[in-house]
Structure 1
Amino acid sequence: MTLLTQFLNRLSVWIQSKYPDGIILLNNGLTRDQITEKIKSLPFQFPEELYELYQWRNGQKYGSKGAMKIINSKGFGYDIDLEIFDCRVFLPLEDAIEKYSFDLHGYDFSNPYTCFKYSWFPVFYRDGDSYLLVDIRENETCPIVYMHIQSLPEEALITYSSLTKMIMTLVEFYEAGGDEVGVHEFCDEFEQIWLQHNADIIADDFSQSLRDTRNGRPFSFYYNPNEEF
Structure 2
Amino acid sequence: MSELTDGLDRIYNRLLTNTPHRVSSMKPGLSQSEIDEMAQCLPSILPSEVCEMYQWHNGGNDCWDFLLENYEFPSLKLAIYLYQEELSQLQQDDTEVAEFFQFRFPLFHNPDSAIFLTVLLYGKNGSPIYIHDIGSSNYELLYHSLTNLILHAAEWYEKSTFVEDGLEFNVEYDDVKWSETKTYDIETYLETKYMAREHILRIANTTRNGWKGSMYKHFIETTSN
What is the TM-score with the length of structure 2 in the denominator? 0.68
Pick the structure with greater CA Rg. 2
Distance change in 2, residues 1:182/1:217 (3 Å): farther
Q: Which residue of structure 1 aligns with residue 83 of structure 2?
A: 100
SS in 2 for 1:25: coil
What is the distance in 1 between the residues matched to 2:79 and 2:214? 25
What is the distance in 1 between the residues matched to 2:103 and 2:141? 14
Query: Which ranges of structure 2 fall in alignment gaps of 5 or more residues?
Result: 162-185, 196-211
2:126 to 123, 128, 141: 141
Q: Is the 8 A contact 1:136 1:142 kept in 2?
A: yes
Offset, 1:114: 4.4
Q: Is the 8 A contact 1:84 1:180 kept in 2?
A: no
Matches within 5 A, 1:150-165: 150-152=135-137, 155-165=138-148
Distance change in 2, residues 1:128/1:48 (3 Å): same
Matches within 5 A, 1:1-229: 1-62=1-62, 82-87=64-69, 88-106=71-89, 112-115=95-98, 116-129=100-113, 130-152=115-137, 155-177=138-160, 179=186, 181-186=188-193, 212=215, 217-218=218-219
Identity %: 25
Which structure exhibits the higher relative contact order, with contacts defined as CA atoms closer than 8 Å and separated by 6 or more residues? 2
How many aligned residue pairs are there?
178
The letter of the residue matching 1:17 is: T
The letter of the residue matching 2:17 is: S
SS in 2 for 1:123: strand
Offset, 1:219: 8.7
The letter of the residue matching 1:170 is: A
Q: Is the 8 A contact 1:49 1:163 kept in 2?
A: yes
Query: Which ranges of structure 1 fall in alignment gaps of 5 or more residues?
Result: 63-80, 191-208, 223-229
What is the distance in 2 between the residues matched to 1:13 and 1:135? 28
SS in 2 for 1:131: strand
What is the distance in 1 between the residues matched to 2:104 and 2:136? 14
SS in 1 for 2:20: coil
SS in 2 for 1:27: coil
Q: Is the 8 A contact 1:14 1:174 kept in 2?
A: yes
What is the distance in 2 between the residues matched to 1:85 and 1:141? 20
